[in-house]
Amino acid sequence: MPANPLPDAEQLLASLTDRMRPAVGPDTGLVGIHTGGVWLAERLHQALGIKLPLGTLDVSFYRDDFNKKGLRRNVKSSDIPFDVDGCKVVIVDDVLYTGRTIRAAMNELFDYGRPASIRLATLVNRGGRELPISADFTGAEISAGADESIELARDAQGRLSLQLTRN
C-alpha cells in the first residue's frame, strides 16, 4: 500500500481549532454534517468550550441530486437541540468540494429558524466549487482530481485520518 499522500487529519483539526477560537464563544451554535462533520464538530465543541448543545444535520432530504440518485441508505436523523432563531451558527463539514452539501445544509437549517449568521468550517478545502460558497475556517487546501475522493475516517480509538480513493 502506498504511503498516504494526505496530511494528518489530527494536525489539521488542531490548526482549524486555533483558527476558530478567536471567532467563537460559548453561545455559538455548532452544527456538524453527518458523518465526518459530526466527528469534527464533537471534537471542536469540546476543545472550544461551547456551551450550547451540539447540533447535527443529515442533509439527505435536501440534496439536489435526489431525483437522480434517490435516498441513500442509513439516513441519520437531524437534531438541532438549540434555538436557531437569532443564533450565530457555524456549520462544520469534513471536505468542502462542490458546495452542494453546504447549500442543502443551509436550506435545512432555515427550516429550524432564522439564524443571526452562518459561517462554515471545513477540515479540507479541495476546490472544485460549483456554487458561490466558501469556507470561513479551513484546516488545509488540498488539490485533488475530479476522479479522486477525499474522505474522513475515524478508527476505534477515535483518531481521525484522511483517505484518498480513486473512482
Partner 1 sequence: MWLDPANPQLNKNGELHHLLSLEGLPAGVLRQILDTAESFVGVTQREVKKVPLLRGKAVFNLFFEPSTRTRTTFEIAAKRLSADVINLAINVSSQSKGESVLDTVANLAAMQADMFIVRHAASGAPYMIAKHVAPDIHVVNAGDGRHAHPTQGLLDMYTIRHYKGDFTKLRVAIVGDILHSRVARSQIHALTTLGCPEIRVIGPKTLLPSHVNRLGVQVYADMRQGLKDVDVVMMLRLQNERMKGALLPSAQEFYKYYGLTEDKLALAKSDAIVLHPGPMNRGVEIDSSVADGKQSVILPQVTFGIAIRMAVMSLLAGGQR
Q: Name the residues that contact partner 1, by CB under 8 A.
A: 58, 60-62, 66-71, 73-79, 107-108, 111-113
Whether residue 32 contacts residue 71, with contact meaning beta carbons closer than 8 Å, is answered with no
Shortest CB 100 distance to partner 1, Å = 14
Strands 160-166 and 148-154: antiparallel
CA dist., res. 100 & res. 103, Å (int):
5
In whole angstroms, the minimum distance from the beta carbon of 71 to partner 1 comes to 5
Residue whose CB is less far from partner 1, 10 or 85: 85
Q: Which is nearer to partner 1, 12 or 84 (CB)?
A: 84
Cβ at position 52, least distance to partner 1 in Å? 17
Q: Residue 104 or residue 150: which is nearer to partner 1 going by CB?
A: 104
Please, which residue, 94 or 108, has the CB nearer to partner 1? Answer: 108
